Structure 1
Amino acid sequence: MPSASVIVRRLKSGDVPLFRKLNILFGEAFAEPDTYGAEPPSDAYLEGLLAKEHVCVLVALIGGEVVGGLVAYELDKFERARREVYIYDLAVSEPHRRQGIATALIGHLREIAARRGAWVIYVQADYGDDPAIALYEKLGTREEVLHFDIPVETGQD
């Protein structure tokens, strides 16, 4: 369990500065600063994103500092009247790892998902990311899948 000084909360419109700090943390944690910082979206774009109910951005704060967070998307399903929640990114800053912060973030997301009528939360982990794999195995059931990126060609219908 994280220390009592950790606060987990969902970002909403007006929280763009915290969202930008989370984005910097993602860039550092994933060693991809250009992916997360080279072309930052406008404040208006991020405000619009945070206003969407199906987009869930959570941050873990210690003394107002962003030390972790996740971005998840709620997906409406077609085969049954239900929803799934996909954790797209989750990271905790290096000095705050192994203190229960990621588990607390997922716990908070579970509460939101339950209120929204979701039946499952799912997440992808990369081979070799042993800490993430251990966390997710502790919290859920492992499935072996293949992931494919399909490029989108612009300007064609």
Structure 2
Amino acid sequence: MIDNLIIRECDAKDKTAFVKLNLDFMQEVMAENPYWTSLKIPSEEEMGSVFKEALSMPEHILIFVAEVDGKVVGYVNTWTVYSIWSGGKALTIDDLYIAAPYRRCGIGEKMMEYLIGYAEQNAYRRVQLHAEIDNGGAHNLYRKLGFTEEEILFFMKRINL
């Protein structure tokens, strides 16, 4: 466990760290999961533009970072939807990534606990996410935190612009 961990909302000063972490994450995922290989890894400049656009839409996208000794070592990217069935907002966790040297130190769990608390304090009706089928460590963490597994398939169609 890391004692000097701060979890906070991401802001513009985190751009360089976020871009690096996100590009690292994309490279790891694409190496392990062939269905993502049709995606083009963006340049740092392109990812920086995406970051700026994401920060400009806080009603839809929230990004939180994990900081250790002043260094951003992880992030969680979320988006908000209105759930008809839940009768309110749902917080969807899109990406949760911790830099390799900081994994298995409890940071992911602390980030998830932070998000659950954030959702409770901000009138979200549920928190939802998807996880790779072979990511047993993540599955165990989510179950430990009270998430239930649903038998749902995730479908995706890429749109080429």
TM-score bracket, shorter-length normalisation: 0.7 to 0.9
Q: Which runs of 4+ in 1 moved over 6 A?
A: none
SS at match of 1:8: strand
**Is 1:145 the equivalent of 2:149?**
no
The match for 1:47 among 39, 47, 52 is 52
- 1:87-102 alignment to 2 at 5 Å? 87-102=93-108
Provide the rounded CA distance (Å) in 2 between the counterparts of 1:76 and 1:92: 28
User: Among 89, 96, 112, which residue is 1:83 paired with?
Assistant: 89
**TM-score w.r.t. structure 2 length?**
0.79
Give 1:11's aligned residue. Answer: 10
- Deviation of the 1:79 alpha carbon: 4.3
Instruction: Provide closer, same or farther for how the CA distance between residues 29 and 150 of structure 1 changes in structure 2, counting only shifts above 3 A.
Output: closer
- Structure 1 length normalisation: TM-score? 0.81
- 2:133 is aligned, of 119, 127, 151, to 127
Gaps of 5+ in 2: 32-36
Q: Deviations over 1:52-73 (max 9, x none)?
A: 2221111111123222211010
Structure 1: runs of 5+ lacking an equivalent? none
Return closer, same or farther for 1:80/1:30 CA change in 2, 3 Å cut-off: closer
SS of the equivalent of 1:15 reads helix
Deviations 1:97-141 (A, max 9, x none): 221100111112122222321111111111111111111111111
Partner of 1:69: 75
Cα 1:31–1:92 change in 2 (3 A) is: farther
Instruction: Specify which of 39, 42, 45 is matched with residue 38 of structure 1.
Output: 42
Q: Does structure 1 retain, via aligned residues, the 8 Å contact 2:86–2:125?
A: no
| Shift of residue 14, structure 1, vs aligned partner | 4.1
Number of residue equivalences: 153
Deviation at 1:84, TM superposition (A): 0.5
User: Alpha-carbon deviation of 1:81?
Assistant: 3.7
Distance 1:9 1:22, change over 3 A: farther
Computed over aligned residues only, the root mean square deviation of the Cα atoms, in angstroms, reads 2.6
SS at match of 2:120: helix
Q: CA deviation at 1:80?
A: 5.3
What letter is aligned with 1:149? M
